[in-house]
Amino acid sequence: MGQKNGMGIASMVLGIVSVSFSAVAIPIGIFFQLWGCFISVCSILCGIIAIVLGAKSKNLYPCGTAIAGFVMGIIGVSIHTIIFLCFLLLHIYL
């Protein structure tokens, strides 16, 4: 049996959570901008943790889950940074 890569799996799960929060943040944020900002901040934090765990895990046990978590974390952080700024500007100007 191969080695267990808990950090890689955790990174992948957090990356998926970070990306999938966009399906929740956008509809909620349209009507409640501050809740959309809160969900985006939570997603950015999950994405940052996914990036860190993925980078550490990639060095220790290079496998697909670590790379997937790293990439999904980057995608989640970039998407939700844009969403956060849009909702923040909507809240300020409306």
Write down the pTM of the prediction: 0.86
Task: Please report the pLDDT score of residue 3 as a whole number.
Answer: 62
Residue 84: which pLDDT band, with cuts at 50, 70 and 90? Answer: confident
User: Around Cβ 27, how many Cβ atoms within 10 Å?
Assistant: 11
* Structural contact between residues 60 and 13, judged by C-beta atoms closer than 8 angstroms: no
| Residue 23 scores a pLDDT above 80 | yes
Residue 13 pLDDT > 50: yes
